[in-house]
Amino acid sequence: MNPDEYYALYKVEKEHWFYSGKRLIVREWLRRLGFLTHRHTLLDVGAGTGLFAEEMSQHLSVIALDPDANALGLLKQRREIITSAGSAETLPLADNSVHILTALDVVEHLDDDKAALREFTRVVRPGGLVIITVPAFMSLWSEWDDALHHRRRYTFAQLTCAWQGLNLQVVHSSYINTLAFFPIYLYRQWRNLLPAQKKTARAEDWVPRDPLNSLLRQMFVQPALWSLRLPVGVSVFAILRKM
């Protein structure tokens, strides 16, 4: 993605309700499933700035991987994580070498998402987990997707097709960020109609003040921890177990 996007993310991701909420969701599901221990190794594919990898290193052994030189420069500033250059479609790891693989908002950037899922399956040990988030619904496409070089936004069915035929079993899958779906849809449709010179800073690039930021985070996180599958959302979330 554009180099400036890494630094925009770096400035807000620790506190912003969406980014911090996404990390909380993944961490809580790992805790529930008994994987939040130092006996397990996590590979974070497309690790970006490395904040998620650094936070998870308090609980797990972590390898952070990214193909982008700008991201690798930020990753090397993080402590307690192993960093590696490499792409999702050709992971530089041995077969059955990690317990958990996370790809949080990664596969939408790829030309061949199915190749990436094959690689994810290859490097995870039997019984291990693959955890994926992707942006949902092309109707939510905005200049944010353009700036991040997204190839697509997914429906639940489209993401399911990416792992079809692989040795993966669904532990849990759902749309998430459900309560924000309609406000975000209306906001992006309105913003897409504006000429470029009239657009203000994107909502993704600034942290709302508390208590609004905390409320938005709670509205994001709590439904994503329910065991049921929600019918709509701004993202798709999947936890898959290698058989």
Q: Give the domain range for residue 216.
A: 3-242
Q: Single out the residue of 92, 76, 69 nearest to residue 3, CA to CA.
A: 69
At residue 149, the pLDDT reads: 93
At residue 197, the pLDDT reads: 64
At residue 111, the pLDDT reads: 95
Contacts 24+ apart (CB under 8 A), 61-69: 63/93, 63/98, 65/91, 65/92, 68/1, 68/6
How many folded domains does the chain comprise? Answer: 1
CATH of the domain at 118: 3.40.50.150
- Would you call 13 helix, strand, or coil by DSSP? coil
Cβ neighbours of residue 80 under 8 Å, at least 6 residues apart? 54, 57, 58, 62
Quote the pTM value.
0.95
Run means of pLDDT, 10 residues per run, the chain, 243 residues: 82 96 98 97 96 96 93 84 93 98 98 97 98 98 92 97 97 98 94 76 88 98 97 98 98
